[in-house]
Structure 1
Amino acid sequence: MRMTLQFLGATEEVTGSCHLLTVEHERLLLDCGLIQGGKADELRNHDSFAFEPASLAAVVLSHAHIDHSGRLPLLVKAGFTGPIYTHKATVDLCAIMLKDAAMLQSRETDRQNKKRAKHDLDPLEPLFTVEDAEQAISQFVALEYGQVMQVIPHVDICLSDAGHILGSALVELWIGEGKAQKKVVFSGDLGRAGMPILRDPTRVSTADLVVMESTYGNRFHRSWTDTLIELKGIFAKAVTESRGNILLPAFSVGRAQELMYLFYLYAKEWDMARWKICLDSPMAIEATEVYIKHYALMDEEFKRFARKYPGQHPLHENIEFIRTTDESMALNDIHQGLIIIAGSGMCNGGRIRCHLEHNLWRPECDVIICGYQALGTPGRALVDGAEELTIRGNRIKVAANIHTVGGLSAHADQAELLRWYHHFEEQPPVILVHGESEAQQGLVEVLKQDPKTKPKQVAIATRGDCLDLNALPKLVWIPG
């Protein structure tokens, strides 16, 4: 029986997750994510798929983040008609996120077409439309954690909590039949143990192959205790010395809700009463309601807290929800005492751009970077020490205080990735995806050197690589 796994996205980069499983004549896609970064990176989203979308029997989606789900409407537009299997909470989040992505695509295309019309150039079409997104959403099939499902002939899957965002899943796949059957574990994006709101990532003990993310494969996050001390210090200094506003570019799903919860938990300790705290993101507001709806998926501490204070949900307390454009623009008239949580998390779109334009040049203001920043994004430029950003055609001097708080990351760091791998018996081979080259090389080195984790083989996937699953546990690549 022919069984292959081809790596078509998030190879030696973090975004655009996409992997093609072929079993005999059936094809299954793991993730179908949008490529994010600079303009050149994002243009690659317009490239044709490396396979015929109509030939796919099904898709399995690890979680809702757009770098894993964002090309699903394009896949449907190109002819895919099959089911999209994912966790039930991811279905609800994607119903928000994919339509939002479509509206952003349409707005950006309209903006470009106005410029093109001045030069008598043909108009462009958006990557996909709201109708494409709605059609993709109609093809979702909701699963529970722990539910075993046959998704194509000779392939069963089971989703387990990855602890990254609400509904995030690592995927166990049993491929083939009888003694020739192989088990592949796809990590998706792995979260971190002990983080607020979500449960810890599920540990898996058996696999013939582990396909593992490596976003922070060469990095160590600050401890949670030190991260809380760091945040308290930033807020205290902003009150006593800076006396400006604080901007938090945040992913609308996951990071925004985590920040809201922290501001509630530490309201007294961090002296939050001094601040007007605003969540300026319609999508994050909708996502927050999904988090509340799927209350049963949260960690025990969060559930105990909510039971103790019924009717006082911590994701609704002390935060002003900013829904309209006019309400968002009105925040620009406030010059101090304001905390704004807004998307996008990498500062490459959304309302945070407007707030950066009005605050980034002010030395009394602070910007807290609290998530991964892809190469080529404005957020990455801030992390790397840029002296100015171009926003809506205007050059904005970077005079605000820039803080990179890595301890808030929803991705496992090197030590946490190793601990997760420790639980596999017999050290199955590992293929690294979803990481930049430097991070991946760092993780390869420690995997090979640590006798406790040393796998039979470890490799970094490059785009187009195709693995013969029949040969496992040996990694045998099929020539392209």
Structure 2
Amino acid sequence: MARKALIRVRFHGAVGEVTGSRHLVEALGHRVLLDCGLIQGGRDERGRNAAGFGFDPSGLDAVVASHAHIDHIGRLPLLVRRGYAGPIYATRATADLARIMLEDSARLAAADAERDNRGRQRRGEALVEPLYLLRDVHDTLRLFKPMDYGERREILPGITLCFEDAGHILGAAIVELVVEQSGQRRTLVFSGDLGPDHAPIMRDPTPMRQADLVLMESTYGDRNHRSRRETIDELGRVLEKAHEDGGNVLIPAFAVGRSQELLYWLARYWKEWGLERWQIILDSPMAARVTELYQRHTPLFDAQTRAMFEKGPHPFRLPNLRTVVDVQDSMAVNRRASGQIIIAGSGMCNGGRIRHHLRHNLWRENCDIIFVGYQARGTLGRQLVDGADFVNIFGEKIRVRARRHTIGGLSAHADQGQLAAWYGHFNGHPPVALVHGEDEAREALAGVLQKQFRARVTLARARGSIEV
């Protein structure tokens, strides 16, 4: 006789794509939402983000945020604006980062709406409103309930939550939900975004042993990263050749995680790569705030990074590092055509100050662009990685003459082999639903899990469900 299901998961986002994470867990008459992220990339990005959630926000009992990347928390203020008033559980570092990320997101939404409305006024079209406002963000932040890694808390009758280290960015967590009723017990594990093994700064993802159902990301489910040694050697060679050619180096980088890791490597190889010859620019007010926050959470770092912070060279205090916050100072960066390593957001070039730097440098033959993270379909970064000869930035058509380099070994995501190895720690190889990945990546990872572990794999589909 089949045992009674205690958990049903309905998939509302990040299925067949890598942004917009949103999964609804129904258990014991309660509704718990895992993540509520922005959709990034694509022509209808604004419309999809403004659309309904697929459920009534006021009917939720709890929200659990796996980490603070905007594609996992970016729609939380809209959820609150539309009626959610319950707790939002996250690790302490994620709760701290959420303030920075969501305030920035609200400001960008306001700026985008203002820019769009200028054109709409000229065309006599109806004006649009920002997705949400700063007051919505502040209403959202008041709902956060911080937790420590390894802490177990009953968040609803019969439902216990625990966070374990995902090794992805500061505060990133694997989510474990345990549901118990009348002597029956089910464990749901949601990977969140998993970091690679042996990456700098963050600790490795925690091996998990017990689950009845695993929701697992699959961003890089179809490929393995180059070794970190090869990757760092390549980065050094690119910087050396760029110096010989006499141009600027542009590195689109997320303000959380990637910017700090880049500074780590620049500090570690500062002498070997002759980096005193460069002006290193961190052009991101958000990255500056995040970097300060990282220094308040050093107990979460791995041992090697803690030693580096204590003995030097300190990654965030390099002698030729200039952190740019003011808009006028950012504009001044583009008056120099050479000698600068410019790290700026956003990581997929779909917003932020990197677009201004690209506009001023893409057409230069001696410019180098280094992509160090995933570029989702529909983003400017993906167009450049795919070899576009021309791109449109702020309504201007720009010829791309700059050299493009994709250095995937610096990804903050686990690759195919590491994802499979993480799943392999589970006793009995429970059913797994693959989320947060394009279909090609999910299909490839599903094949590996089926071959290695005879796993029962589901490719989650929008509005589909699975129960255990």
* TM-score normalized by the length of structure 2: 0.97
The within-5 A match list for 1:69-88 is 69-88=73-92
- Alignment partner of 1:289 is 2:292: yes
The answer (yes or no) to whether the contact 2:6–2:179 under 8 Å persists in 1 is no
Q: What does residue 10 of structure 1 align with?
A: 14
CA drift of 1:118 comes to 1.4
Secondary structure in structure 2 of the residue aligned to 1:416:
helix
Q: What does residue 98 of structure 1 align with?
A: 102
How far apart in 2 are the matches of 1:95 and 1:197? 22
CA drift of 1:344 comes to 0.6
- Alignment partner of 1:217 is 2:221: yes
CA drift of 1:223 comes to 0.3
The answer (yes or no) to whether the contact 2:15–2:460 under 8 Å persists in 1 is yes
How far apart in 2 are the matches of 1:256 and 1:47? 32
How far apart in 2 are the matches of 1:357 and 1:269? 31
CA drift of 1:19 comes to 0.5
How far apart in 1 are the matches of 2:156 and 2:196? 31
Q: Pick one of 362, 365, 370 that aligns with 2:364.
A: 362
How far apart in 2 are the matches of 1:438 and 1:3? 28
Secondary structure in structure 1 of the residue aligned to 2:214:
strand
Per-residue displacement from partner, 1:166-196 (whole Å, max 9, x unpaired)?
A: 0000011101325421111100000011111
State the AA in 2 paired with 1:254.
G
CA drift of 1:114 comes to 1.2
Question: Over the residues paired in the alignment, what is the CA RMSD in angstroms?
Answer: 1.1
Q: Pick one of 91, 114, 117 that aligns with 2:121.
A: 117
Q: Pick one of 36, 40, 43 that aligns with 2:40.
A: 36
Q: Pick one of 104, 108, 111 that aligns with 1:107.
A: 111
Secondary structure in structure 2 of the residue aligned to 1:48:
coil
- Alignment partner of 1:274 is 2:277: yes
CA drift of 1:2 comes to 5.3
The answer (yes or no) to whether the contact 2:6–2:186 under 8 Å persists in 1 is no
How far apart in 1 are the matches of 2:195 and 2:467? 29
Q: What does residue 389 of structure 1 align with?
A: 391
- Alignment partner of 1:253 is 2:252: no
The answer (yes or no) to whether the contact 1:28–1:152 under 8 Å persists in 2 is no
Per-residue displacement from partner, 1:87-142 (whole Å, max 9, x unpaired)?
A: 00011111001010001001111111111111222221111001101110111011
The within-5 A match list for 1:175-254 is 175-240=179-244, 242-254=245-257
Q: How many residues align?
A: 463
The answer (yes or no) to whether the contact 1:34–1:67 under 8 Å persists in 2 is yes
CA drift of 1:317 comes to 1.9
Gaps of 5+ in 2: none
How far apart in 1 are the matches of 2:344 and 2:311? 30
Q: What does residue 371 of structure 1 align with?
A: 373
Per-residue displacement from partner, 1:320-339 (whole Å, max 9, x unpaired)?
A: 00010110010111111111
Secondary structure in structure 2 of the residue aligned to 1:333:
coil
The answer (yes or no) to whether the contact 1:64–1:97 under 8 Å persists in 2 is yes
How far apart in 2 are the matches of 1:216 and 1:131? 36
Where in structure 1 do 4 or more consecutive aligned residues deviate above 3 Å? none
Q: What does residue 142 of structure 1 align with?
A: 146
Q: What does residue 461 of structure 2 align with?
A: 462
How far apart in 2 are the matches of 1:227 and 1:178? 53
State the AA in 2 paired with 1:348.
N
* TM-score normalized by the length of structure 1: 0.95
Secondary structure in structure 2 of the residue aligned to 1:447:
helix
CA drift of 1:305 comes to 1.9
Q: What does residue 134 of structure 2 align with?
A: 130
Q: Pick one of 277, 299, 303 that aligns with 2:302.
A: 299
Q: What does residue 63 of structure 1 align with?
A: 67
Would the alpha carbon gap of residues 2 and 265 (structure 1) be closer, same or farther in structure 2, given more than 3 Å must change?
Answer: closer
Secondary structure in structure 2 of the residue aligned to 1:194:
coil
Q: What does residue 160 of structure 2 align with?
A: 156
How far apart in 2 are the matches of 1:172 and 1:80? 22
How far apart in 2 are the matches of 1:252 and 1:199? 19
Per-residue displacement from partner, 1:201-229 (whole Å, max 9, x unpaired)?
A: 11011111111000000111000100011
The within-5 A match list for 1:165-180 is 165-180=169-184
CA drift of 1:316 comes to 2.3
How far apart in 1 are the matches of 2:181 and 2:195? 32
Q: What does residue 402 of structure 2 align with?
A: 400
How far apart in 2 are the matches of 1:117 and 1:239? 46
How far apart in 1 are the matches of 2:97 and 2:353? 20
Gaps of 5+ in 1: 470-480
Q: Pick one of 331, 334, 338 that aligns with 1:332.
A: 334
Q: What does residue 316 of structure 1 align with?
A: 317
State the AA in 2 paired with 1:365.
C
Secondary structure in structure 1 of the residue aligned to 2:31:
strand
How far apart in 1 are the matches of 2:6 and 2:430? 21
The answer (yes or no) to whether the contact 1:248–1:369 under 8 Å persists in 2 is yes
